[in-house]
Amino acid sequence: MFQTGIRQMRMAMSMVWGRPISPRNVERLIEDALETLTTFGAPGDDVQQLLDGPFSDPKVREEFQTRALRRTAARLAGVSPYYRRLFDSCGLDPDSLTVGRMAGVPVTLKRDLVASQADFLAAGSQPYVSTRTTGTTGRPAEVWLSRYEMELWPAMAALSGLLRNEISPDDCMQVNISSRATAAVQQNLTVCRLVGARSRMLGVVPAEESLDSLLAGGDSAPTLLTTYPSYLAELVRAARRRGVGPGDFRLRRIDCGGEVLSAALSRATYETFGPRLVNDTFGMTEILPVSGRVCDHGHLHHDLNMGFVEVVDFQTGTPVGPGEMGTVVITPYYPYRECMPVFRYDTRDIVRQLPDAPLTCELAGVPATSRILGKADHMLRIGDEVVTLRDLVEVVEDLPGQPWPARFGATVDDGRVRLGLPGDVLADASASELRRRLADRGLNVDVSTVLDDRAGVMIRPLRADLLETTFAGRN
Ligand SMILES: [Zn+2]
């Protein structure tokens, strides 16, 4: 136990001083944690505190954030051609940077990353693996990661997952995300390796094949599933077609991310797969390793150990107040991000700031926002009304025909939201019912539906459609 204490202290100090963290040290912590868990069965409270960080006290939080931001900006000014230029142009002095002055630094957009990729590479770092965004907005951005990053992130995730009992050596993780999401794939496989759990990397293959895998293996069938909400929807439908239910699976958790997960789909998942917990996570290639988790109260809690999180106005880039909507802007801290770091990266993901009241959820010590409501660039505005992707997904996926994943397109035309739906989505519901359900969510929008996408309404892309072909269905 003495050794564990020393290593924990070393790790905590490197967080404060901002020196690179040795992935080997974190891996040793994992070994110690595994041993401790075998002997004592549960991690200590001090370890949990280390994981959640010192964020419930606003003053301590701001001190931590100021130090981390200065350290990160100072490094970027030294090694990143893009940010050296940007900081010069806005007169940023890293040594006097404060939380309040962050709004004076222009945000970085995906198009900047695509247009000036080489200028984002940090001098002196060794690119090792590139990973591409698989999102649904515009050209993919390519982000280079160093070996240090590829070793450190899974090690930290494995340690945290182990201590939070999110993964154990008895688990088997099935991974149904795009094989091209190299960073996420390698992260999941390495986390399993470090913990000693099994992993099945399947990709976005036909849902029937993934269902076969979830049902196969008896006592060694998958207990964890990592996927996208739209693919989860395909799995739920495949399971219902086959007539299998909770008693046929061993799943104890499903991690979902990358798309809007609706309440209707969560409910259907519980009914079909049985696990109590569908874990709605937030992550994005460009701002790795910063992530977020949704609590039981439906808030999105961002991991403030790894990065600085702001919610800013769509146009002005200045922070918005309680109850207001804005886009999530994230600055991953050094030493967690090394090779191609970003500063004030505008994810264009919309959230609403929570009302200014104390949180009472299980993650109350970590500040939170609403869940992701959609992409800013896909938001529909009719006068003062704003309709987000989540508004539409929640309503469409809750229709009696259970049309998961909801395939539709939406646009604003002549002061009305026009929804384009493939013929079978509405089933027995009518356009007036759709209007009523939107009104129940406080959206007084006039909806006209077109029963296909011919009328110039593009059906939204879903990650479940990034289907990877196999020969398994041939016989
Ligand atoms: Zn919460």
Q: What is the pLDDT of residues 46-64, one digit of tens each?
A: 555 556 666 778 888 899 9
Ligand 1 centre distance from Cα of residue 302 (Å): 10
Ligand 1 centre distance from Cα of residue 299 (Å): 4
Ligand 1 centre distance from Cα of residue 190 (Å): 29
Ligand 1 centre distance from Cα of residue 381 (Å): 28
- Structure confidence at residue 324 (pLDDT): 95
- Structure confidence at residue 301 (pLDDT): 94
Ligand 1 centre distance from Cα of residue 292 (Å): 11
pTM as predicted:
0.91
Contacts with 152 (C-beta within 8 Å, 6 or more apart), sequence order: 21, 23, 26, 289, 336
Specify whether the CB–CB gap between 380 and 410 falls below 8 A. Answer: yes
Dump pLDDT digits (tens) for 241-293.
Answer: 999 999 999 999 999 999 999 999 999 999 999 877 798 999 888 999 999 99
CATH fourth-level superfamily of 1-372: ANL, N-terminal domain (3.40.50.12780)
For residue 282, what are its two tokens? Answer: 């937030």
Q: Is 270 left (phi over 0), alpha (psi -120 to 50) or beta?
A: alpha
Q: How far is CA 355 from CA 57, 60, 319, 380, 412, in A?
A: 18, 22, 14, 23, 29
Round to whole Å and give the CA distance between 376 and 325.
Answer: 10
Could you tell me where in the chain the CATH 3.30.300 domains are found?
A: 379-465
Dump pLDDT digits (tens) for 318-358.
Answer: 899 999 999 999 999 999 999 999 999 999 999 999 998 88
Interhelix angle 389-397/263-273, rounded to 10 degrees, is: 40
Among 148, 78, 147, 82, which residue's Cα sits nearest to residue 118? 82
Could you tell me where in the chain the CATH 3.40.50.12780 domains are found?
A: 1-372
Ligand 1 centre distance from Cα of residue 351 (Å): 14
Ligand 1 centre distance from Cα of residue 162 (Å): 21
Level-2 CATH architecture, domain 379-465: 2-Layer Sandwich (3.30)
Ligand 1 centre distance from Cα of residue 137 (Å): 28
- Structure confidence at residue 2 (pLDDT): 44
Ligand 1 centre distance from Cα of residue 97 (Å): 29
- Which regions in the chain score pLDDT beneath 50? 2
Ligand 1 centre distance from Cα of residue 287 (Å): 22
Ligand 1 centre distance from Cα of residue 357 (Å): 12
Ligand 1 centre distance from Cα of residue 280 (Å): 12
Question: Which segments within 230-338 are labelled E, that is strand?
Answer: 253-257, 278-282, 292-294, 300-302, 307-312, 325-332
